[in-house]
């Protein structure tokens, strides 16, 4: 579904990603792990088109998307829930979801998508008249994901969905991410919460200093001595 080929990317003269190649198959849940500053967010931002690659190609369902602007990529069915921001704090929960549905150009499915989103995040239904900026940190993360789901993505990318959340909220959120995947939406996410993120993944990538240094099924990661020492505290 997603093919990244020999991607080099960064900001101005600063190269962050070096020769990144990997595939994501339809229906998979792929986790990207790695230390702070490794380039995980830059990779997601390059795929969505917010950062222009220096070289290399990105294909979605066989169509080249590298070089396209982000709104164009989003309309093809690839969306990104960023680590922070991405909401209108002065608007209510419901208004945020309406804005997103309009942006998708697919307003006809609004009711149906809204029902799916409220099923996944019942708390957002309860809080639909509350301003986004006054929600708790966990609720704002849920709304950010709900906002991107209103765009009816085929590939949903999540940048550090658990960052800053209490452990109890994190386990609920991870359960919800698994349910979104079970609805047939392919997921590519980055996580610092390496152990839990590996548990729900079908495949993982380790990125260190802008390069993929390990790739494979989660079992390979859980067994890898270096991963265990550096990221699993074993
Ligand atoms: N907008 C930006 N402009 C310049 N450098 C950036 C920008 N965003 C990130 N970087 C740099 O790119 C590198 C990778 O950052 P990032 O992709 O955010 O890593 P990660 O998500 O793995 O923590 C870091 O050195 C960071 O300082
Ligand atoms: Mg990041």
The model's pLDDT over 148-207, given as tens digits with 9 standing for 90+, comes to 999 889 999 999 998 888 888 888 889 999 999 998 999 999 998 888 889 899 999 999
Confidence category of residue 109, pLDDT binned at 50, 70, 90 = confident
CA of 67 to the centre of ligand 2 (A): 21
CA of 42 to the centre of ligand 1 (A): 6
**The pLDDT value given to residue 170:** 87
Decide which of 152, 177, 199 is a domain's last residue.
152
Decide which of 152, 178, 208 is a domain's last residue.
152
User: Residue 130: is it exposed, middle or buried by C-beta count within 10 angstroms (0-12/13-18/19+)?
Assistant: middle
Domain match, 16 and 63 both: yes
Domain match, 2 and 70 both: yes
Domain presence at residue 167? no
Statement: residue 58 has pLDDT above 70 = yes
Atom 27, ligand 1: which residue's CA is nearest? 37
CA of 43 to the centre of ligand 2 (A): 9
**The pLDDT value given to residue 234:** 64
Domain match, 10 and 68 both: yes
Domain match, 55 and 89 both: no
**The pLDDT value given to residue 138:** 87
Statement: residue 101 has pLDDT above 90 = no
CATH number of the CATH domain containing 220:
3.40.50.300
Between the ranges 6-15, 73-82, 144-153, where is the mean pLDDT highest? Answer: 6-15
Q: For 133-145, what is the mean pLDDT? A: 92
Domain presence at residue 176? no
**Helix (H, G, I), strand (E, B), or coil: what is residue 211?**
strand
Q: For 62-89, what is the mean pLDDT? A: 92
% of the chain beyond a pLDDT of 90 = 69
Domain match, 120 and 100 both: yes
**The pLDDT value given to residue 78:** 96
Domain match, 2 and 71 both: yes
Domain that holds residue 109: 80-152
Atom 25, ligand 1: which residue's CA is nearest? 37
* Averaged confidence pLDDT in the chain: 92
Statement: residue 88 has pLDDT above 80 = yes
Domain presence at residue 42? yes
Length reported for the chain: 234
**The pLDDT value given to residue 164:** 80
Domain match, 1 and 72 both: yes
Domain match, 88 and 68 both: no
3-state helix, strand, coil in the chain (%, to 5): 40, 25, 30
Domain presence at residue 214? yes
Domain presence at residue 175? no
CA–CA dist 133, 32 (Å, integer): 29
Domain match, 54 and 97 both: no
Domain match, 39 and 64 both: yes
For residues 202 and 189, is the Cβ–Cβ distance under 8 A?
A: no
Q: Which residues line ligand 1 (CB under 6 A)?
A: 11, 14, 16, 34, 36-42
CA–CA dist 225, 30 (Å, integer): 21
Task: From 33, 35, 41, give the residue whose CB has the most ligand 1 atoms within 8 Å, as the site to mutate.
Answer: 41
Domain match, 7 and 36 both: yes
Decide which of 126, 152, 178 is a domain's last residue.
152
CA of 40 to the centre of ligand 2 (A): 5
The model's pLDDT over 116-126, given as tens digits with 9 standing for 90+, comes to 899 989 999 99
Domain presence at residue 23? yes
Domain presence at residue 119? yes
| Ligand 2 is an ion; residues with CB less than 5 A from it | 40-41
Domain presence at residue 96? yes
* Ligand at shortest distance from the CA of 40: 1
Domain match, 44 and 94 both: no
In total, how many domains does the chain have?
2
């Amino acid at each position: 579904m997603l093919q990244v080929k020999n991607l080099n990317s960064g900001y101005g003269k600063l190269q962050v990603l070096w020769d990144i190649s990997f595939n994501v198959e339809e229906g998979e849940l792929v986790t990207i792990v790695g230390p702070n500053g490794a380039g995980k967010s830059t990779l997601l931002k390059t795929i969505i088109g917010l950062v222009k690659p220096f070289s290399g190609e990105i294909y979605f369902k066989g169509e080249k998307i590298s070089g396209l602007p982000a709104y164009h990529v989003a309309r093809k069915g690839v969306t990104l829930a960023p680590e922070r921001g991405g909401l209108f704090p002065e608007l209510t929960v419901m208004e945020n979801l309406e804005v997103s549905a309009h942006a998708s150009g697919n307003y006809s499915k609004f009711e149906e998508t809204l029902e799916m989103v409220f099923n996944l995040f019942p708390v957002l239904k309860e809080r639909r008249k509350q301003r986004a900026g006054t929600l708790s940190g966990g609720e704002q993360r849920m709304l950010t994901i709900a906002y991107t789901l209103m765009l009816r993505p085929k590939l949903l990318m999540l940048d550090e969905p658990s960052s800053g959340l209490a452990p109890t909220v994190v386990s609920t959120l991870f359960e919800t991410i698994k349910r979104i995947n079970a609805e047939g939406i392919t997921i590519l996410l980055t996580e610092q919460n390496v152990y839990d993120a590996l548990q729900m993944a079908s495949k993982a990538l380790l990125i260190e200093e802008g390069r993929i240094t390990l790739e494979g099924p989660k079992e390979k990661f859980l067994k890898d001595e270096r991963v265990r020492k550096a990221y699993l505290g074993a």
